[in-house]
Amino acid sequence: MKNYKTSEESTIFEALKKIFPDSSNTIIRNLLKKRRVYVDNALIVKAKEIIEKDKTISIHEIIKKSPSGVKIIFEDDDILVINKPEGLLSVPLDEKKTENALSILRNYYSTKNIFVVHRIDKKTSGVMMFAKNQRAIDKLNLMFKNHELKRAYLAIVEGNLKEGEGAWKSYLRENKEYNVHSVENEEDGKIAITHFSVIRRSKNFTYLKLNLETGRKHQIRVHCKDAGHPILGDKRYSPTSSPISRMCLHSYFLEFLHPKTGRKMSFSAPIPQSFKKLGVIKFSND
């Protein structure tokens, strides 16, 4: 439950608009309709009810079931942010009806007006964002094109990476088997840049924070392999299995400007519990 203090006399609707300036009138009215708004512990349902100065407005949470298979982190009229579990596709794979995050969300909300903005690999968990209208898609696509979003990943890789931090740069190309590899000629591939820093080292592994400057397919996985330290459990690019029976790559953090309001939005997904079996990890978004 969240509490807010009124600074002047107004209707409850006006007060809620000041508390939630980025929310539509429909969302504000739904707060009242769904009996979530209380003033000094008294339920308020009428939008025109007058609220005096120095009153406490409480917004009660409602228990909302998340769609099966994903956890919703945030949603409004323009965007939808989820924590995608490991093992779930981001989008449909060709014409196959394999379970995927996009289809789950569209079925849950009974609408096709949920659109892909970016993808994360099936074996990668963590923060993923969708758009809910064309305006949001256009704005977000432009942000991705101009590298205006901040994306941080956590990876646990094989061996001991000597450098404490740095950047990997290469040109990536996909072959007929859908495997991605680095090529020397820039005309044969697409530029990919990954910034890395070491969070922790253990006897056999290195724990990395990775920030994407570009967002190419399998970029992190290929760059780690090229550096001689493939991601644990990455069966496509490394023969070594993972001690926790999954690929150790997690989309931890996403930050961007809201496509409608321009406000800075930051979201994170907790480090998977299974990762903690390999050691305690302290992670910063800086």
Q: CA distances (Å), 32 to each of 52, 60, 74, 99, in order?
A: 18, 11, 20, 36
User: Has 121 been annotated as catalytic?
Assistant: yes
Report whether 90 contacts 120 (CB < 8 A).
Answer: yes
CA distances from 210 to 116, 161, 222, 250 (A): 23, 13, 13, 10
Give 60-66's long-range contacts (Cβ < 8 A, gap of 24+).
60/1, 60/35, 60/36, 61/1, 61/36, 62/34, 62/36
Q: What CA–CA distance (Å, rounded) separates 54 from 51?
A: 9
The pair of three-digit structure tokens given for residue 6, joined into one six-digit string: 């009124």
Give the end-to-end CA distance of the chain in Å, rounded to a whole number. 29
Rounded to the nearest 10°, the torsion over CA 186, 188, 189, 190 is 60
CA 230 – CA 220 distance, rounded (Å): 9
Which of 54, 76, 78, 121 is flagged as catalytic?
Answer: 121
Which residue numbers are catalytic? 121
